[in-house]
Amino acid sequence: MFKRVLIANRGEIALRVIRACRELGVETVAVYSEADRGASYLELADFSICIGSARSSDSYLKVDRIISACEIGGVDAVHPGYGFLSENAHFADVCRSCNYEFIGPTAEAMSLLGDKNSARTIASNAGVACVPGSDGLIKSESDAVRFADKVGFPVLIKASAGGGGRGMRVANDKEQLATAINQAVQEAQNAFGNGAIYLEKYIELPRHVEVQVIADNFGNIVHLWERDCSMQRRHQKLIEESPAPNLTEETRKQMCAAAVKLVKAASYTNAGTVEFLVDADEKFYFIEMNARIQVEHPVTEVITGIDLIKTQIKVAAGEKLPFEQTDIKQKGHAIECRINAEDPDHNFRPCPGKIEKLIIPGGFGVRFDSYVFAGYTVSPAYDSMVGKLIVCQPTRDEAINSMRRCLRELVIEGIKTSTPLQQRILESPEFKTGKVDTHFIERKFMKKEEK
Ligand code: ADP
């Protein structure tokens, strides 16, 4: 096992990794930007090192500073968390070449799967169904027209390097195609420095269902079942749950098997998530793989009883997976609400500021993963998520009731949060019956001009 791990991240996930390491008897080095100086979780790490100013590009994204912190901190491994450098193959490579094990997949597997277009190729070669679309990247407008004619409008132009919903544009007809291409290329170039795009059939009213996987360095691969993440606004998840409602046992099993097939084909190791879209006929299509731990991993942890962060660390340290596929059962029903510092009544605008009062819910099957406290000032410099509320109950109905009760108990004064909207979603008859899709929130809860 490692002696000391550096956490190349901040906030909730930094604290989550510190906790896992403490339980494993592994020391931790936390890094922080000047904006995060004084954050309480830093005191729970064994050491902490300032790596720069508030701007991520001057701190959490600065590979050389993080590597220096590894050297100063005397660590033997790095946990990247999610976001920031977590899917940066160059960073994984630099860590390993400096003899700091990167807790995640190999740089090769990450590059292969991190690029959405190449991930599509690997998936289809492995016999995993992808959304019908272009065979590879789009090189010209006439290329795009040809593929769009083949699959039929509407189509989605996607950035190969895309993430966080950026670089994606819908085109309903030939006239919109040229504009959509230009916009997607421009946005992808600005956000990722890579304007490569491809085309997919736009699936109408799909559900987003993803499969958690983890693999060790000895060829053992398991899935930890699925999560439904259809509750999104602007392609960003707000509520996640497991098991996915209204999915036949047959589809669930086929999807999980497909995820394992893809992981095997890419020789992928450590934790990852294979994302699918499910259409109205329950046909599922691979969309992308996230080569890292995800925000919503606790949903899977509470229904399988498996600590994913500890397992990630063990696998990276060269241990075999401590369980087999048949050991992994879905027990009960879990729901997670991402608690964001934002105003759902005003176009989800971020609401950073000082938390004046904080009361955290508890009780049977309740987990609150957060780094904030009363008196903490949420910085405008980073993602607006301040915590994750997770409940687990024997049935879905009970989980919904428990989440509603917890959202009522949760008090965060001083800033606006996403909770009033989440309360309304949980109360809606559509959510209760699980008859939802990725556009549900926009359709039901957002004003036209906000969509
Ligand atoms: P990102 O990496 O930017 O988050 P994804 O490929 O994971 O992009 O897609 C994010 C979301 O966009 C999906 O959950 C879904 O809501 C929507 N989406 C992606 N591809 C399609 C498609 N072909 N048809 C319809 N919706 C899609």
The angle subtended at Cα 52 by Cα 49 and Cα 54, nearest 5°, is: 115
Q: Whose CA is nearest to atom 11 of ligand 1?
A: 235
Pocket mutation for ligand 1, best pick of 147, 157, 168, 236 (most atoms within 8 Å of C-beta) = 168
- Nearest atom in ligand 1 to the alpha carbon of residue 237 is 14
Q: Which residues of 417-432 are buried (b: 16+ CB within 10 A; e: fewer)?
A: bbbebbeebbeeeebe
Question: What is the C-alpha to C-alpha distance for residues 391 and 305, in angstroms, rounded to an integer?
Answer: 13
- pLDDT for 167 equals 87
Question: What is the C-alpha to C-alpha distance for residues 443 and 436, in angstroms, rounded to an integer?
Answer: 11
Count CB neighbours of 122 within 10 A: 20
Pocket mutation for ligand 1, best pick of 147, 157, 209, 287 (most atoms within 8 Å of C-beta) = 287
| Topology given in CATH for the domain delimited by 4-103 | Rossmann fold (3.40.50)
Give me ligand 1 centre to Cα 158, in Å. Answer: 9
Q: Whose CA is nearest to atom 20 of ligand 1?
A: 287
Pocket mutation for ligand 1, best pick of 198, 235, 284 (most atoms within 8 Å of C-beta) = 235
Question: Has residue 448 got a pLDDT over 70?
Answer: no
- pLDDT for 450 equals 66
Please say whether the beta carbons of 130 and 286 come within 8 A: yes
Give me ligand 1 centre to Cα 235, in Å. Answer: 7
- pLDDT for 216 equals 98
What is the number of alpha carbons within 13 Å of residue 39 lying toward its C-beta? 26
- Nearest atom in ligand 1 to the alpha carbon of residue 202 is 24
- Nearest atom in ligand 1 to the alpha carbon of residue 116 is 6
Q: Whose CA is nearest to atom 7 of ligand 1?
A: 288
Question: What confidence tens digit (pLDDT) does each residue in 320-338 have?
Answer: 999 999 999 999 999 999 9
Give me ligand 1 centre to Cα 288, in Å. Answer: 8
Question: At 447, is the pLDDT very low, low, confident or very high (cuts 50, 70, 90)?
Answer: confident
- pLDDT for 59 equals 97
- pLDDT for 449 equals 63
CA torsion angle for 289, 295, 296, 300 (degrees, to 10)?
80
Residue 249 to residues 229, 273, 274, 380, Cα–Cα distance (Å): 18, 20, 18, 43
- pLDDT for 4 equals 98
Q: Is the CB of 277 under 6 A from ligand 1?
A: yes
Q: Is the CB of 131 under 6 A from ligand 1?
A: yes
**Region 257-283: what's the mean pLDDT?**
97
Question: Has residue 406 got a pLDDT over 90?
Answer: yes
- pLDDT for 451 equals 62
Query: What pTM was estimated for this model as a whole?
Result: 0.96
Give me ligand 1 centre to Cα 386, in Å. Answer: 24
Q: Is the CB of 438 under 6 A from ligand 1?
A: yes
Question: What confidence tens digit (pLDDT) does each residue in 217-251 have?
Answer: 999 999 999 999 999 988 889 999 999 999 999 99
**Which CATH code of 3.30.1490.20, 3.30.460.80, 3.40.50.970, 3.40.50.2300 fits the domain covering 132-201?**
3.30.1490.20
- Closest by CA to 316, choosing from 221, 220, 223, 217, is 217
Q: Is the CB of 209 under 6 A from ligand 1?
A: no
The two domains 4-103 and 132-201 share their CATH topology (first three levels equal): no
Residue for token pair 């049977």: 364
Question: What confidence tens digit (pLDDT) does each residue in 32-60 have?
Answer: 999 999 999 999 999 999 999 999 999 99
User: Which residues are tagged catalytic?
Assistant: 292
Q: Is the CB of 318 under 6 A from ligand 1?
A: no
Domain 207-450, second-level architecture: 2-Layer Sandwich (3.30)
Please say whether the beta carbons of 412 and 339 come within 8 A: yes
- pLDDT for 166 equals 84
Q: Is the CB of 203 under 6 A from ligand 1?
A: yes
Give me ligand 1 centre to Cα 199, in Å. Answer: 12
- pLDDT for 129 equals 96
Question: Has residue 423 got a pLDDT over 70?
Answer: yes
- pLDDT for 114 equals 87
Question: What confidence tens digit (pLDDT) does each residue in 162-181 have?
Answer: 887 888 999 999 999 999 99
Give me ligand 1 centre to Cα 205, in Å. Answer: 11
Average pLDDT, the chain: 96
Pocket mutation for ligand 1, best pick of 116, 155, 277 (most atoms within 8 Å of C-beta) = 277
Question: What confidence tens digit (pLDDT) does each residue in 372-405 have?
Answer: 999 999 999 999 999 999 999 999 999 999 999 9
Please say whether the beta carbons of 270 and 217 come within 8 A: no
CA 78 vs. chain centroid, Å, equals: 19
Please say whether the beta carbons of 304 and 224 come within 8 A: yes
For the chain, domain boundaries: 4-103, 132-201, 207-450
Give me ligand 1 centre to Cα 136, in Å. Answer: 17
Q: Is the CB of 159 under 6 A from ligand 1?
A: no
- pLDDT for 234 equals 84
Q: Is the CB of 171 under 6 A from ligand 1?
A: no
Residue for token pair 């000047």: 34
